[in-house]
Amino acid sequence: MDYYSSEINRLIEELTALPGIGAKSAQRLAFHIISMPEENVDRLADSMKSARKNVRYCRECFTLTDDELCPICRSKSRNHRVIMVVETTRDLAAYEKTGKYEGVYHVLHGAISPMLGVGPADIRLKELMKRLEKDVDEVIIATNNSLEGETTAMYISRLIKPSGIKVTRIASGVPVGGDLEYIDEVTLLRALEGRVEL
Amino acid sequence: MDYYSSEINRLIEELTALPGIGAKSAQRLAFHIISMPEENVDRLADSMKSARKNVRYCRECFTLTDDELCPICRSKSRNHRVIMVVETTRDLAAYEKTGKYEGVYHVLHGAISPMLGVGPADIRLKELMKRLEKDVDEVIIATNNSLEGETTAMYISRLIKPSGIKVTRIASGVPVGGDLEYIDEVTLLRALEGRVEL
């Protein structure tokens, strides 16, 4: 690849290491970057460095944040007695976008996966149990609807139940707007099992 | 979006401004970046800044390079009397990857497009004509096989022909491995017109 400048090659190489960026997109991105106004490149580069340096885990819910406590854990308008357990900060963001959830969160940063060698000690479970020592009315388990997510949900519910705290799981079924014809069988059966009276 | 840290939001915003990166990929990239080792983030960020700062146009062929002259224009093993005219440095790279072209290049940085208001003065044409004052045997026009590329090729060939220098155009036809059944009609007709005796 010495037909490009070595600087461009180095940049392309660095970009290719990012997830979801192949050789072609790295090339396109690199050429875009060198044609951007210099101050924009500096701003982009600095926001990477700064985010990496300053972002940390919320002391309470372990989401990613700039401060000791995240805005949700700090908020007085949220119900701190209801905790939704999610796998990642992106899942938290997905529920926040609905704008309807009033409780707080707990981010596990992963899910139990015997296959990948991820055990209960590898996710933020101990920290969740510690939070339950304070007054909590309900723990809503919103891990993914995958093998790992389900395993984690089962594990957590068994762990919490002896304490008498209410443990719930978000519903599984046909997505809104979903055409039955195109929904997989497992989902269809889940939707049937979880049917509610009208 | 204040459920993320402001640092992450700023990074996501910067990333979304890049071509081909939507909201979802920007989010995924941002989370990846803050989970990377700090030295890797610094290296990525610095290679962006450095590429933007140090990359410039080759004095001879106008490709992007770190020095006054690019490695190809500097090379003694290339035939400097054959110039291939391409639209972008990426097109140059495509031909270099074949490893079979021995001549040098001229990068126009665009193509004539009356629709987009790009005229002959907006691409590196004057610079090409200046190079032809030296001894040149052939100019191979390898602009894209698009309306703009063809227009540019026609324009350049008319400009050069009076000087007596040989002007050629790369062949247009069915790509190698191309199944006729799936090739568009225009290409099929081009291939027919350009047929060669066996």
Complete domains list, chain A, with CATH: 79-172 (3.40.1360.10)
Nearest-CA distance B124 → chain A (Å): 16
CA nearest neighbour of A35 among B23, B48, B114, B46: B48
CA nearest neighbour of B160 among B184, B137, B190: B137
Segment B154-163 long-range contacts (CB within 8 Å, at least 24 positions apart): B155/B112, B155/B120, B156/B85, B156/B125, B156/B128, B159/B125, B159/B129, B160/B129, B160/B132, B163/B132
CA nearest neighbour of A28 among B182, B187, B47, B20: B20
Set of chain A residues whose Cβ sits within 8 Å of the Cβ of B88 = 31
Nearest-CA distance A150 → chain B (Å): 23
- In A80-139, the residues whose Cβ lies within 8 Å of chain B are 88-90, 92-93, 96
Chain segment B62-87, per-residue pLDDT in tens: 999 988 999 999 999 999 999 999 99
Residues of chain A short of pLDDT 70, as ranges, are 1-4, 197-198
Indicate yes or no: CB of B7 within 8 angstroms of CB of A55. Answer: yes
Query: Rounded mean pLDDT of B21-37?
Result: 91
A16, A43, A52: best to mutate for the B interface, most B CBs within 10 A:
A52
The span from the CA of A58 to the CA of A49, in Å, is: 20
Query: Is the predicted pLDDT of residue B97 greater than 80, yes or no?
Result: yes
The span from the CA of A89 to the CA of A69, in Å, is: 14
The span from the CA of B68 to the CA of B74, in Å, is: 10
Is residue B32 less than 8 Å (CB to CB) from chain A? Answer: yes
Chain segment B134-192, per-residue pLDDT in tens: 999 999 999 998 889 999 999 999 999 999 999 998 888 878 777 777 777 788 877 78
Q: How many percent of chain B have pLDDT more than 90?
A: 60
Average pLDDT, chain B: 89
Structure tokens at B113: 């497009």
Per-residue b or e along B76-109, where b marks 16 or more CB atoms closer than 10 Å to that residue's CB: eebebebbbbbbbbbbbbebbeeeebebbbbbbb
- Least-confidence region, from A13-22, A46-55, B1-10, B51-60: B1-10
How much is the pLDDT for A198? Answer: 63
Provide, for chain A, the percentages of residues in helix, strand and coil under a 3-state DSSP scheme, each rounded to the nearest 5. 45, 15, 40
The span from the CA of A4 to the CA of A13, in Å, is: 12
How much is the pLDDT for B197? Answer: 66
Backbone angles phi, psi at A84, to 5 degrees: -95, 125
Residue A57 forms beta bridges with which residues?
A: A64
How much is the pLDDT for B192? Answer: 80
Residue of A nearest to B14 (CA): A44
CA nearest neighbour of B48 among B15, B8, B6, B26: B15
Set of chain B residues whose Cβ sits within 8 Å of the Cβ of A68 = none
Set of chain A residues whose Cβ sits within 8 Å of the Cβ of B61 = none
Residue B47's pLDDT band, with cuts at 50, 70 and 90, is very high
Query: Is the predicted pLDDT of residue B124 greater than 80, yes or no?
Result: yes
Indicate yes or no: CB of A64 within 8 angstroms of CB of B5. Answer: yes
Q: What is the residue whose two structure tokens read 């440095």? A: B89
Indicate yes or no: CB of B5 within 8 angstroms of CB of A66. Answer: yes
